[in-house]
Chains A and B, each alone.
Chain A
Amino acid sequence: MTMAMTMAKTMAKTMAKTMAKTPWEVVIGLEVHVQLATQTKLFCGCSTQFGAPPNTNVCAVCSGQPGVLPVLNAQAITFALKLGLATGGTIRRRSRFARKNYFYPDLPKGYQISQYDEPLVEGGAVEIWYEGQPRSIGLTRIHLEEDAGKNVHLATGAASLVDLNRAGVPLIEVVSEPALRAPEEAAEYMRTLRGIVRALGICDGNLEQGSLRCDANISLRPWGQQALGTKVEVKNINSFRFVQKALEYEIERQGGLLTRGQTIQQETRQWNAEGGRTESMRSKEEAHDYRYFPEPDLPPVMIEEGLIDAVRAALPELPLQRRQRLMEQDGLSEYDATELTRESELTDYYSRAVAAGALPKRVANWMLTELLSRVTDARDVAQAPVAPAGLAELLGLLESGKVSGKLAKEIWAKMWDSGRTALQIATEGGLFQQSDSGAIEQAVRAVVDAHPDRVADYRAGKTKLMGWFVGQVMQATQGKANPQLVNTLLTQLLDG
């Protein structure tokens, strides 16, 4: 079967699946704001540290005092270039900042310095893996801009307060084409993008701190129609789960309206996480006129070929490339490879354990069950009390039959709590598996000799009793006997 035929079949399958649910084709485009992990803000020297007391990371520039001027943070440009090159975009040799004008108390200057008609990066794509298939989600652009501050409304209603710590923190806005077709796909796109920016080291990926925030544009149209339907923009989404929920809610809402013969209003809506719904923010008529114009305080950004080459040369392996490598070189399953490349800390841990001599498949299994169950966030494995080499040693004992699987878990627990090595724990606790056939044979004989009735029953055809005999032997050896050896010896003795 040719590639095209495979694709056509998959598409037909997907369409059939979706069409069964709804008469509407869903069209989604995402604008993801990625907070860059620079030390300082985009246009001043203030710290970008999260969680500082209100208005402590603030200076004359980022609080918009009269007379101040912005000076561009060069690291932010390099970071944006990294993503642009990693997604195969075209880097504009000359790009420009623009002012986006609107009034809001958390916006100190009354305008946001952003990019408008001359963004840093145009085009490119994010490769995602969705429903067992690779998909390429085209990007419209990637541009740099500064974040706004935060308004805090006192519960008493007595006052609204403004915290400008976040004002001026660098963001890149990654705008996708309207190329996504389902909420789960949108969530997977966002997840993949997060993996990429983390692998590039340009964003910490902390969703709970708002390091990735997304606005979603969604419209519905009858299957087969070329023209796009009326789009609705949903703002204020800050997790993968919410992007999916918000889009599912919108599909229900818009589908319901269309099915009843009503029209969709072009508007901006806001995701209300508590209520699990989207709410109207402003209609098309109320939309802001941002009066964009080129920022006169900043000269155009000129990108030299040398910088592009240097950034390109230093690009690390991206999650999807890692995933491919783990499948091809290490023979991992698609599932294992996908899960182990979700966070670069997991991949690092895995690679180091394998480098220390452990078998890839065993490392993967152990990490995805025993390791992940012990951390709240997968990224914490970088600080796990058991280092990759420690895990490799334990898996080596397991592989050579020196410890049983059950005991290995006990040893693992002790390693985690005490910080001692598997070898130390196994030696001190006498936890090594007995593979000395003489000693085991003795134990087997003792059990067989002690239960002549059961032996008779077994020989009469009750072969299920084999498990009972094994259990007795294991009990007699405090679980240390090699179960395979016990099995072999019992079979010889009972059947012989």
Chain B
Amino acid sequence: MDIVELTVTALAERVRGRQLSAVEVAQAYLARIAELEPTLHAFITVDAEGALAAARALDLRLARGEDVGPLAGVPIALKDIFVTQGLRTTCGSRILADWVPPYEGTPSARLRAAGAVVLGKANMDEFAMGSSNENSAFGVCRNPWDVDRVPGGSSGGSAAAVAGRLCLGALGTDTGGSIRQPAALCGVVGIKPTYGRVSRYGVIAFASSLDQVGPIARTTEDAAALLEVIAGHDPLDATSLPQPVGRYREACRRGVRGLRIGVPAEYFAAGLDPEIETAVRAAIDQLAAQGAEVVDISLPHTKYAIATYYLLCTAEASSNLARYDGVRFGLRAARPRDLRDLYSRTRHDGFGPEVRRRIILGTFALSAGYYDAYYAKGQRVRTLIRQDFSRAFERCDVIVVSTLPIMVFKLGERLDDSLQMYLADIYTISCNLAGLPGLSLPCGFSRQGLPIGLQVLGPPLGEEQVFAVAGSYEQAHDWHRRVPEVRR
């Protein structure tokens, strides 16, 4: 038995049944990390000591006959955006390079309470701003399928760690595709749940009205198991939803018979890589063969999604990132001349170029005299995009499209062209603007052996339907069983 090839449910069952100790599991994964981390750099911080201590504590409790939870011994990587008490949390930024948080956020606390073991903090684009993980202040992360290529972003480290078997599951955040896009590029499963489904308390904010936490895992059922633990109302997050959590694992086996799958013309337009289109259309055919009904739908305001998204997310970010001022925590410029100098040097030295660019854009969009033309108009277009989806979901139960229009690109290839980088988010962004659940799972490999992602979108709180479609597709394929051979 290869420990690192066990699924979440299988591993937790063995640990709970004491056929396998949590310490053995942690050691097996820490060995993988020791071997591959120097190449992949999927982590900003590896907490071997903390992981082993947590695993030992679990084993002790199990020995006493205690129930340690449904994720007993499951080794997890947390994107370094999750606030972990006593464990450095950088958000991929120099400005928080030495920040050791005084409190624990809700998603990671729920994972720990369910028996999961945190191996470390995953690499990411600074403040979750980026689609390639190249904006990390701690060095680039590499794609396990081809180490010359990006793992995607911003949750690139989380996806690469899952794909490379450096952890069994990971948490990411998704503001415009930051879970689904790297999941697609690394050949793993990632879900961004409905806005408000998972608490954002203790998740460093990028764009508050768009940010959402979700799991990245190797299979849909693993992702479902993690989501069942982290989802649910949190009194510490006023935007978290009160509705009961769905039965996601069970939904994975529900099948698609009678489900209506919407296929929007706007997502199969010019710019879509033909190899990807072929894979996605084959997946839709596959679902139809499994009993789903395919309907053509239209999402007419899709073309405005990117502009709208970049207006709103930069505006919110400009405000969310104001607290990094060198006064209470994080980097502080040495020997400032005066208050203004303290602010400008701390923030100039602490933030990377992409973060600075977005703060400036967002500050402009909210300025007196521009608010109506930019932010207010962006909000109105957002409403139109949301209406597109509610109309579409009158005719279908889920929407199936590609996760990305392009294949995974090489490190450095798009670094100098922000606009090209932004445009690649076209298929993932609308889902955040509308607050919908969206899942990406592998649906094949290119001729070059690069993973292709299939995206399933659902109506608000339609996670079960999304898992049903993803689970059904996955059963007929073995894409998720392929293991990347990491070549140094």
Q: Find out whether the CB atom of A108 lies under 8 angstroms from the CB atom of B105.
A: no
Chain B residues near A108 (CB-CB < 8 A)? 323, 327-328
Q: Is B367 on the interface with A (CB-CB < 8 A)?
A: yes
Nearest-neighbor residue (CB-CB) of B127 within chain A: A66
Instruction: Report how far A447 CA is from B237 CA in the complex, Å.
Output: 90
Contact of B236 among A65, A71, A299 (CB under 8 A): A71
Find out whether the CB atom of B201 lies under 8 angstroms from the CB atom of A67: yes
Q: Encode A93-115 as 1/0 by CB contact (under 8 A) with B.
A: 00000010101010011110000
Contact with A along B85-124 (1 / 0, CB 8 A): 0000101000010010111010000000000000000000
Q: Which residues of A contact B208 (CB under 8 A)?
A: 296-297
Chain B contacts of A70 at CB under 8 A? Answer: 238
Which of A66, A289, A299 sits near B367, CB closer than 8 Å?
A289
Q: Answer yes or no: B409 CB below 8 A from chain A CBs.
A: no
Neighbouring B residues of A103 by C-beta, 8 Å: 322, 325, 343
C-alpha spacing A292/B363, complex, angstroms? 11
Q: Would you call B339 an interface residue if the criterion is a C-beta within 8 Å of the partner chain's C-beta atoms?
A: yes
**Which of these, B83, B325, B327, B363, contacts A66 with CB under 8 Å?**
B83
Residues from chain B with a CB closer than 8 A to the CB of A296 are 207-209, 239, 316
Q: What is the bound-complex CA distance between A346 and B207, given in angstroms?
A: 53
Among the listed A60, A72, A110, A291, which residue makes an inter-chain contact with B238, where contact means beta carbons less than 8 Å apart?
A72
A162, CB-defined interface residue at 8 Å: yes
A360-402 residues at the B interface, CB under 8 angstroms? none
Residues of B within 8 A of A67 (CB): 82-83, 101, 105, 200-205
**Cβ of B238 and Cβ of A298 under 8 Å apart?**
yes
- In the assembled complex, the Cα of A66 lies from the Cα of B105 at a distance in Å of 10
In the bound assembly, the distance between CA atoms of A289 and B365 in angstroms comes to 12
Chain B: CB-nearest residue to A66? B204
CA–CA, A289 and B319, complex, Å:
13
User: Is A63 interfacial (CB 8 A cutoff)?
Assistant: yes
Bound-complex Cα distance A108 to B328 (A)? 8
CA distance A291 to B200 in the complex (A): 24
A71 lies within 8 A of B238 (CB): yes
Question: Which residues of B, 266-321, contact A by the 8 Å Cβ criterion?
Answer: 315-316, 318-319, 321
> Which B residue sits closest to A44, measured CB to CB?
B236
From 53 to 96 in chain B, residues with beta carbon under 8 angstroms from any chain A beta carbon are: 82-83, 89, 91, 96
Q: Does A68 contact B (CB under 8 A)?
A: yes
- Give the CA-CA distance A299 to B367 in the complex, in Å: 23
- Does B1 reach chain A (CB closer than 8 Å)? no
Residues in A with CB closer than 8 Å to B323 are 64, 66, 108-110
Chain B residues with CB under 8 A of A299: 238-239
In the docked arrangement, what's the CA distance between A32 and B381, Å? 38
Least CB distance, A265 to chain B, in whole angstroms: 19
Of residues A70, A99, A299, which shows the largest number of chain B Cβ atoms within 10 Å of its Cβ? A99
Q: Is there contact, CB below 8 Å, between B201 and A69? A: yes
Per the 8 Å Cβ criterion, residues 201-223 of A in contact with B are: none
Within 8 Å by CB of B103, from A65, A101, A109, A298, lies: A65
Contacts of A63 in B (CB 8 A): 328
Give CA–CA (A296, B82) in the complex, Å.
19
User: Given A68-B201, A299-B239, do A162 and B327 touch, yes or no (CB 8 Å)?
Assistant: yes
Bound Cα distance from A99 to B205, whole angstroms: 15
**In the assembly, what is the distance between CA of A118 and CA of B204, in Å?**
27
* One of B99, B103, B204, B209 near A60 (C-beta < 8 A): B103
Q: Which residues 325-340 in B have Cβ within 8 Å of A in the complex?
A: 325, 327-329, 339
Which residues of chain A in 282-315 are interfacial with respect to chain B, using CB atoms and an 8 Å cutoff?
A: 289, 291-293, 296-299
Q: Which residues of A contact B316 (CB under 8 A)?
A: 293, 296
Contact A293 B375 (CB under 8 A): yes
Bitwise interface map of A from 32 to 72 toward B, beta carbon under 8 Å scored 1, else 0: 00000000000000000000000000001001111111111
Closest to B89 in A: A66
Alpha-carbon gap, A110 to B203, bound state (A): 18
Contact assessment for B237 and A293 in the assembled complex, using a CB-CB cutoff below 8 Å: no
Assembled-state Cα–Cα distance A60/B83 (Å): 11
Task: From B102, B200, B375, give the contact of A65 (CB < 8 A).
Answer: B102
Q: Taking the nearest CB of chain A, how far is it from the CB of B225, in angstroms?
A: 25
Complex alpha-carbon distance, A18 and B315, angstroms:
50
B325: chain A residues within 8 A (beta carbon): 103, 105, 110
Known: A72-B238, A110-B323, A299-B238. A66 touches B96 (CB 8 A): yes
Asked, given contacts A110-B319, A291-B367, A293-B315, whether A66 binds B91 with beta carbons under 8 Å apart, the answer is yes
A65 to B89, CA, bound (A): 12
Q: How far is the CA of A110 from the CA of B200 in the complex (A)?
A: 19
Q: How far is the CB of A70 from chain B (nearest CB, A)?
A: 7
Complex Cα distance, B366 from A336, in Å, reads: 54
Residues of chain A with a CB closer than 8 A to B375's CB: 293
Cβ of B99: which chain A residues have Cβ within 8 Å of it? 66
CB distance from B241 to the nearest CB of A (A): 11
- CB–CB B89/A105 < 8 A: no
Q: Which B344-368 residues have a C-beta within 8 angstroms of A? A: 363, 366-368
Known: A66-B89, A68-B201, A71-B238. A291 touches B319 (CB 8 A): yes
**Given the complex of chains A and B, what is the CA–CA distance between A67 and B208 in angstroms?**
10
Which of B393-445 touch A at CB < 8 Å? none
Q: Which residues of chain A have C-beta atoms less than 8 A from B239's C-beta?
A: 69, 296-299
Q: Given A60-B102, A66-B91, is A293 in contact with B371 using a C-beta cutoff of 8 Å? A: yes
Which residue from A65, A68, A111, A291 sits with its C-beta under 8 Å from B363?
Answer: A291
Say yes or no: A65 contacts B322, CB within 8 Å.
no
CA distance A64 to B204 in the complex (A): 11
Asked whether, in the complex, the Cβ of A64 is within 8 Å of the Cβ of B328, the reply is yes
Point out the residues of chain B lying under 8 angstroms from A64, CB to CB.
Answer: 323, 328
For A72, A103, A108, which residue has the most chain B Cβ atoms within 10 angstroms? A103
Query: A1 CA to B329 CA in the complex, in Å?
Result: 71
In Å, the complex CA distance between A292 and B371 comes to: 9
B17 at the interface (CB under 8 A from A): no
State the CA gap A67–B89 with chains docked (Å): 11
B50 at the interface (CB under 8 A from A): no
Residue in chain A with minimal CB distance to B81: A67
With the chains together, A111 CA to B320 CA distance in Å? 9
In the complex, the answer to whether B339 meets A105 with C-beta atoms within 8 Å is yes
Cβ of B258 within 8 Å of any chain A Cβ, yes or no, is no
> Does B235 make an interface contact (CB < 8 A)?
yes
Q: Are A111 and B319 in contact (CB under 8 A)?
A: yes
A472 to B257, CA, bound (A): 117
Q: A66-B89, A293-B371, A299-B239 are in contact. Are A101 and B319 (CB under 8 A)?
A: yes
Q: Which residues of B contact A105 (CB under 8 A)?
A: 325, 327, 339
Q: How far is the CA of A298 from the CA of B196 in the complex (A)?
A: 12
Question: B286 to nearest A CB, angstroms?
Answer: 39
Quote the shortest CB–CB distance from A290 to chain B (angstroms).
8
How many whole Å from B79's CB to the nearest CB in chain A? 12
A297 and B237 alpha carbons, distance in the complex (Å):
8
In the assembled complex, how far is the CB of residue A133 from the closest CB belonging to chain B, in whole angstroms?
A: 41
Q: How far is the CB of B77 from chain A (nearest CB, A)?
A: 18
Query: Least Cβ distance of A326 to chain B in Å?
Result: 45
Encoded as 1 (CB less than 8 Å from any A CB) or 0, chain B from 37 to 49 comes to 0000000000000
- Cβ-defined contact, A69 with B236, below 8 A: yes
User: A100 to B132, alpha carbons, bound, how many Å?
Assistant: 33
Alpha-carbon distance A72/B236, docked complex (angstroms): 10
Determine which residue in A64, A65, A69 has the highest number of CB atoms from chain B within 10 A of its CB, and name it. Answer: A69
Do B322 and A101 touch across chains, with their CB atoms under 8 A apart? yes
- 19 intermolecular pairs with C-beta atoms under 8 Å apart: A65-B83, A65-B329, A66-B91, A66-B205, A67-B101, A67-B202, A67-B203, A68-B103, A69-B200, A69-B236, A101-B318, A101-B366, A105-B327, A110-B323, A162-B327, A291-B318, A292-B371, A293-B316, A293-B366
Given contacts A110-B321, A291-B318, 8 further A-B contacts (CB under 8 A): A67-B203, A67-B204, A70-B238, A71-B238, A72-B238, A103-B325, A291-B363, A297-B238
B residues whose Cβ falls under 8 Å from a Cβ of A = 82-83, 89, 91, 96, 99, 101-103, 105, 200-205, 207-209, 235-239, 315-316, 318-319, 321-325, 327-329, 339, 343, 363, 366-368, 371, 375
Enumerate the 9 nearest inter-chain pairs by beta-carbon distance, A residue then B residue, closest first.
A110-B322, A291-B366, A296-B208, A296-B209, A67-B83, A66-B204, A60-B103, A67-B202, A64-B323
